[in-house]
Amino acid sequence: MSSIEALREVVRKLADTFNNPQIRESSYFNFYDNSLIIHGFPPNLPANKEGFEHFIYLLWKAFPDIRIMFHDIIIEGNKVACRYILTGTHKGEFMDLQPTDKQFRVNGMTVFSFRDTKCIERWNLVDMISLREQLS
């Protein structure tokens, strides 16, 4: 398997793990190196693995059925860029919004930087305006 296909497979497994409530808490963060640096996540959290974990746990609590579907996976060197769609149902508090039980579907883009098969840096953009509008 080429290094390109190996990274494509890591990203697919990462999404599958994120989407599976039975295994995500025990396995999802294994895709990320302890030296992780994050960009584009809430500014009030540390830009490291601990801050990233905190944010993801908030997502899982607020949207227990949250799913990410990666599209247009583009790989160059050790970087993987993906367009994605995020879906879920608002069941818990999120960004000062009380649960609405409304479903959402938003677009986003992310870039992963890998060392071997571990993500060491991640940039993320998601349509938060659309998310807030759909949940209001």
pLDDT tens-digit map of 56-74: 999 999 999 999 999 999 9
Q: By the 8 A CB rule, do 71 and 107 touch?
A: no
pLDDT of 73 reads 96
pLDDT, averaged across the chain: 95
Q: pLDDT band for position 108 (50/70/90)?
A: very high
pLDDT of 2 reads 64
Q: Where are the domains of the chain?
A: 3-135
CATH for 3-135 (2.60.40.10, 3.30.1490.20, 3.10.450.50, 3.10.20.600): 3.10.450.50
15-29 pLDDT per residue, tens:
999 999 999 999 999
Cα–Cα distance for residue pair 114/93, rounded to 1 Å: 32
CA-wise closest residue to 117 among 10, 5, 2: 10
- pLDDT for residue 115 is more than 60: yes
75-88 pLDDT per residue, tens:
999 999 999 999 99
| Cα-Cα-Cα-Cα dihedral sign, residues 118, 47, 56, 135 | negative
- pLDDT for residue 1 is more than 80: no
Give the pTM: 0.92
Cα–Cα distance for residue pair 75/68, rounded to 1 Å: 18
